[in-house]
Chains A and B, each alone.
Chain A
Amino acid sequence: MNYFPDEVIEQIFESVTSQKDRNAVSLVCKSWYKIERFSRERVFIGNCYAISPERVIERFPGLKSLTLKGKPHFADFNLVPHEWGGFLQPWIEALADGRVGLEELRLKRMIVSDESLELLSRSFPNFKSLVLVSCEGFTTDGLAAIAANCRLLKELDLQENDIDDHRGHWLSCFPESSTSLVSLNFACLKGEINLPALERLVGRSPNLKVLRLNRAVPPDTLQKVLARAPQLVDLGTGSYVLDPDSDTYNKLQATVVKCKSIKSLSGFLEVGPRCLPSIYPILENLTSLNLSYAPGVHGSELIELIRQCVKLQRLWILDCIGDKGLGVVASTCKELQELRVFPSDPFAAGHAFVTEEGLVAISAGCPKLHSLLYFCQQMTNAALITVAKNCPNFIRFRLCILDPTKPDAVTMRPLDEGFGAIVQACKNIRRLSLSGLLTDRVFLYIGMYAEQLEMLSIAFAGDSDNGMLYVLNGCKKLRKLEIRDSPFGNEALLKDVGKYETMRSLWMSSCEVTLGGCKALAKQMPTLNVEIINESDQVEIGVDDEQRVEKMYLYRTLVGKRRDTPEFVWTL
């Protein structure tokens, strides 16, 4: 029963923007469901196989922005064969057929073809924004279609995609009349770029705020581009190799000084010696710095750079910064909220790496830290306990010890207590990745304390089924669980099959679950797709129930078995 007319409720719903809240609102009553669905503009589909495009369009005819995710997370690390699935084509076809007024499409780990991009570019006259993260299957020809046909394009953001570069003229495909660009990121492209076309494009895009170049863009073009876009807020450089005594260097330096608005800096895929001082003028305003693809920035040059970044909130860096370098970060970047330290070339001359010391220093110096991804050589329980005390506000805590079963480096004990301290202190922790030597105990702690945990990544950990059971029992908000190389088997898998309906997905590879176990699960839970990925040349799969399953991926779905499975994927 409504106390207000529908229009009023609709107005109220307009301020309800988060997906979660909208979903909750739609469950209140039929009337609210109806009002909500007609007013919904943004839809997030965390697993593209959980629902069909037709049903999405039917329920949300006003759809303008769609986010889709395809392959499971471990696909990033080559654990999922490329053709597993996550095809964009059926979605584009359905959206086009349904005459949806699509304006924004955000994809992650999907297979995108040039054909799909072409269809996309022709089917939605108001299309404004395309964001592709970790996708594959397309070439610069597809980009050319987007550039040419999407008259109102504001955003083309390509992050870490595997794109076949046909040495595009794709940049020249932006028509001369196109002046609407706000964000352009092609850093992941490997090939050459039409440099004059780039300069002209930037020149006629007064609203351009984000520009991330690829390696093929040399410093003199960078200078020309910056000169035409001093209003940039986010810059990713291409190649930064130049002679510090040259004219180009001086020009670049003078141009950089004028770019007062740059808050986010990345790139430096190649750096020449003594070139970095040219960017010093903008460092003090930076809130985000990504040098994780810049192995050429190291040692004292790197330290000198960091010392000036006093306002930094987000830092992505390589582990060649070393513990000492992290100490400098800790004393300089008091506003730091997110830190990612990636592993670098272990054989580079003078290679440093990070240990628990660096992390402790960061936790002591940066109390606002809430997101961490840390690849390190070693860790200790004592360090983790200290970190937990210093930073109780972690939302994301991902630790990766390069030797995945390494114990506490000092006491040689498992790291159970350390991670236990983290989950106990950090009441809001939503995402956790474990590594190091770990027994069932750590899972007991996680089950007991990690009440808000939504995503857990486990590798080479645990002793028995109890480990997995503690987690499934205890973490009520768990949505994604991914496990590899751990001794969890059928007993854990089958104990509480209803749990999986409350989750988005479960991945288990190189564990102890058998074919029989998976079959039993699939039989009991028809609302789950239980997929077995079998890449071996073994002839007789599916005959022996005692056989261990190498890779299993299960997810809840409203639309049953998918019809595009390749031959090595078997849905039970």
Chain B
Amino acid sequence: MTLFFFLNLKFLSHVIFFFKSRSRLKSCWSIYHSEAKTKSKAKAPKMSPEVKQQSPAGLNYDETKLTLGLPGSGSKRGFSETVDLSLGSSSSSSSGARVECCDQGCVDDGGVTTHKAPAAKAQVVGWPPVRVSRKKLMKSCKYVKVAVDGAPYLRKVDLEMYNSYQQLLGALEDMFSFLTIRNCLNESKLMDPANGVEYVPTYEDRDGDWMLVGDVPWKMFVETCKRLRLMKSSEAIGLAPSTPPRCRSTN
């Protein structure tokens, strides 16, 4: 019985910890900021500053109290307030910048809106304290070639610039101007409206196999993708799913 209680406390401590450090950089939790903020100071709730006495299991329930306070009300600035969310120019209000999921497979559900500009990842200004020349090393950059069947030359995209498949498709749509995204149920496809040719996004993974884009979580995809190919639907026999009867365009 005590064991059960302890396990519960441990679980609780994780949950509390989650609430306490809601917006930490590169944490294991995926969170949304509910509004796009240019100056993030005013609205984020402040954490209760006092470290009160500890309960036997090392938990501090007082710490978890989130108190909404007006700016300048004197309580401690939480780390969350310094997060500077700078979205691309076409930011929409319903989705904020996303903090990365952890490696343990938080599933990215693919983004809320189709941003034309890649949404910047949430960053605290000046943290971690490394010089700009080093920051460039830290900033990962995963350029992969993109081939489109029938196009005369290839392009390159930096997969690290995007947080979801939807954003990637948006970028491809920009890059190859003859393509538009069509959304069919829960699938997005690229097609050339001029001749009705549909393209299936595929990628070559680390093992050299050609896979359909969209099956694995986004982060895993970024890690394993070596290059992209937009394959004509007609050629993608066995890979592409059968086309459902009705498709609606996003644009």
Contacts and interface: CB of A to CB of B under 8 A. Distances in A.
B17 A346 contact: no
A8 to B, nearest CB: 48
Given A346-B138, A413-B54, A76 B131 contact: yes
A220 B60 CA distance: 61
Contacts of B59: 412
B151 interface: no
A428 interface: no
B25 A292 contact: no
B125 A78 contact: yes
Contact of A347 (B51, B76, B128, B222): B222
A184 to B, nearest CB: 19
Contact of B133 (A160, A348, A412): A160
Interface string A424-450: 000000000100000100000000000
Contacts of A342: 130, 134, 137
Contact of B126 (A78, A345, A403, A487): A78
Interface in B1-44: 13, 17, 21, 24-27, 39
A487 B49 contact: yes
Contacts of A411: 58
Interface in A443-494: 457, 459-460, 462-464, 484-487, 489
A46 interface: no
Interface in B126-165: 126-134, 137-140, 142, 160
A413 B58 contact: yes
B170 to A, nearest CB: 21
Given A413-B54, A413-B58, A510-B82, A402 B26 contact: yes
A292 B134 contact: yes
Nearest to B72: A548
B212 to A, nearest CB: 22
A463 B21 contact: no
B79 interface: yes
B39 A160 contact: no
A548 to B, nearest CB: 6
A559 B237 CA distance: 78
A417 interface: no
B67 interface: no
A76 B27 contact: no
Nearest to A74: B126
A400 B215 CA distance: 37
Interface string B72-96: 1011111100100000000000000
B207 interface: no
Contacts of A459: 127, 129
Interface of B is mostly: loop
Interface in A74-89: 74, 76-79
B77 A160 contact: no
Given A346-B140, A413-B54, A402 B76 contact: no
A342 B160 CA distance: 21
A484 B125 CA distance: 11
A181 to B, nearest CB: 24
B72 A546 contact: yes
- Chain B, interface residues (CB within 8 Å), range: 35 or more
A79 B138 contact: no
Contacts of A348: 140
Contacts of A345: 137-140
A411 B140 CA distance: 32
A405 B21 contact: yes
Nearest to A80: B126
A177 interface: no
Main secondary structure of the interface of A (DSSP, over half): loop
A71 B190 CA distance: 50
Contact of A403 (B26, B50, B134): B26
Contacts of B25: 402-403
A403 B72 contact: no
Contact of A463 (B50, B58, B71, B138): B50
Contacts of A188: 133
Interface in A3-39: none
A546 B73 CA distance: 11
B26 A512 contact: no
Interface in A52-78: 74, 76-78
Contact of A77 (B17, B129, B160): B129
B223 interface: yes
Contacts of B51: 414, 439, 463
Contacts of B17: 412
A402 B79 contact: no
Contacts of B133: 160, 188, 293
Contact of A405 (B24, B26, B126, B160): B24
B129 A400 contact: yes
B140 A349 contact: no
A416 to B, nearest CB: 9
B130 A406 contact: no
Contacts of A439: 51
User: Which of A347, A404, A433, A547 has the most B CB atoms < 10 Å from its CB?
Assistant: A347
Nearest to B39: A536
B77 A510 contact: yes
Nearest to A347: B140
A546 B72 CA distance: 9
Contact of B137 (A344, A414, A486): A344
A134 interface: yes
Interface in A393-412: 400, 402-406, 411-412
Interface string A305-345: 00000000000001000000000000000000000001111
* Interface hub of B17, B79, B124, B138 (most chain A Cβ within 10 A): B138
A159 to B, nearest CB: 10
Interface in A509-527: 510, 512
B79 A460 contact: yes
A347 B221 CA distance: 12
Contact of A79 (B71, B75, B76, B126): B126
A295 B139 CA distance: 12
B38 to A, nearest CB: 10
A400 B128 contact: yes
B223 A487 contact: no
A162 interface: yes
A174 interface: no
A160 B131 CA distance: 8
B223 A485 contact: no
Interface string B87-116: 000000000000000000000000000000
Nearest to B51: A439
Contacts of A295: 137
Nearest to B74: A512
Contacts of B50: 463
A375 interface: yes
A510 B17 CA distance: 24
A484 B79 CA distance: 11
A249 B227 CA distance: 30
Closest 10 CB pairs of A and B: A77-B126, A345-B140, A487-B76, A403-B24, A347-B140, A79-B126, A405-B79, A77-B129, A76-B131, A463-B49
Given A293-B133, A412-B17, 12 more contacts: A74-B126, A342-B137, A343-B138, A345-B137, A347-B219, A402-B128, A404-B127, A412-B58, A459-B127, A464-B49, A485-B77, A487-B74
16 contacts: A74-B129, A76-B132, A162-B132, A342-B134, A345-B137, A346-B140, A347-B219, A347-B223, A348-B140, A403-B26, A403-B27, A405-B24, A412-B17, A412-B59, A487-B75, A512-B74
